[in-house]
Each structure stands twice: as C-alpha cells, then as structure tokens.
Amino acid sequence: MPSEATAVVTGSSSGIGLAIAERLLADGWHVKGFDVSPARIAHACFEAVQVDLTDGAATEAAAQAAAEASALVHAAGVLRVGPLGALQPADAELMWRLHVDAVTRIANVLLPAMAARGEGRVVLLGSRVAQGKAGRSLYAGTKAALIALARSWAAEVVASGVTVNVVSPAATQTAMLDDPARQAAAPQLPPLGRLIRPDEVAALASFLLSPPAAAITGQDIQICGGASLAR
C-alpha cells in the first residue's frame, strides 16, 4: 500500500462495505466512504461522502473529488427477487443503477488516473448468483455484468500497474438478509454449514488491494463455503 493511500469504498455504512472500510482503516488506508446513508464509522482517516449512487451526476461529482484514490472497492448493493411473470422494471433499474452504472461512472474517473500514476487496485463485489439462480435473474444479471466489466477493465490497465478483480461471496450474514423484499427467498447455507461472514470478505478484499496481489487481475474469486465443490 502506498504511503497516505486513499481507498474509495461504496456502501460503507453497512454489511460487507462497512467491514471492508473498517479493515482498510486498520490496514492504514485513508478511506472515503460513498453511501447515501449516514456513516457508522468515526475514525480520523475516514471521510464520509454522502451520495446517492443511483444519481449519475452526483456519483460522477463524488468520483471527481476523489480522483487521487489508489483503490476502489464497490460494495454498494441491494437485492430484489422475483420469478418470471412477476419481474418489476423498477427493480431492474434500481439494481442496474446501483450495481453497474454507479461503478462505471466512478471507474471512468478513477481508473485512468490510477493508470497514469502507474498503480491502483479495484475490487468489485459480485455474487455466486451471477452464475444464475431461479428467482434471481435481475440480480444475477447485474452481478454478471460486473465480471464482464472487471475483465474488460483489467485488460485495459494491466500494463499500467492497475489490477481489477471481483470477489463473489455466497450468502453473507448482513442486514440484506432481513430485507422484506427477499423474505420469500431465504438464503441457502453452503456446505460449510453457516453463512459467510463480512470480515472474511473484507480480508480477501484487503489482500487484493495489497502489493503482494499485484499479479492477480481479471479474476472472479469466490468465497463459497464449499458451495462450488459439486459440479
């Protein structure tokens, strides 16, 4: 990690984003947390940036103000479920704006600046659902799009010392599990016998942002608790 390095973390007020922000602060990063909700972190090296990431102009303005960042972690997300015949266009638009459009706008500012400096790290939070799951098509589509973005961006900036990876957890113990919008679709425990913990996801993100991870790029790394063993 460069001295006085800054990481932008979206969705930093809860769940995986909060765990990652806290882990990076412990690692010595300065963190700018992009979130529409009030910050839950009080730390001298944490700056809360209250921004609605579904608002394109506001997201771009926040990115421009953080153009010096050496790392970007996109953890902001929501889950809306539904089978064919009950899909809601508003759900599709919300998840696309938050999962895909927001990080595209941020990366469009931050990644060229990282490449020009010759160093940088990007981690996008995906999901095992990106491989497809009944009742999750809209969510899966946006998470699959993140993998395509990551591989494409990685190919563009690999020679400039910038890496781009996806971390895809199985069901993780966060407040998202309590969202009334998903109560009809309970999470499935992986063979490990428990949900993935946010701190476990944060530990992997921390490594991918570190100097020893310089040769890892364009990958979708799963934290699956054994769920991918049966093929």
168's tokens: 């895809």
Q: What is the pLDDT of residues 65-117, one digit of tens each?
A: 999 999 999 999 999 999 999 999 999 999 999 999 999 999 999 999 999 99
Count Cβ atoms below 10 Å from residue 60 Cβ, excluding itself: 16
- Is 139 among the catalytic positions? yes
Average pLDDT over residues 199-228: 95
Average pLDDT over residues 41-61: 98
Residue 146 to residue 43: CA distance in whole angstroms:
30
Which one is catalytic: 29, 46, 139, 153?
139
pLDDT in the model for residue 181: 53
Average pLDDT over residues 12-20: 97
Terminal CA-to-CA distance of the chain, rounded, Å?
A: 37
Q: How confident is the model at residue 175 (pLDDT cuts 50, 70, 90)?
A: low
Given a cut of 90, whether residue 183 has pLDDT beyond it is no
According to DSSP, residue 82 is labeled: -
The contacts of residue 130 (CB under 8 Å, 6+ apart) are 140, 143, 144, 146, 147, 168, 220
Average pLDDT, the chain: 93
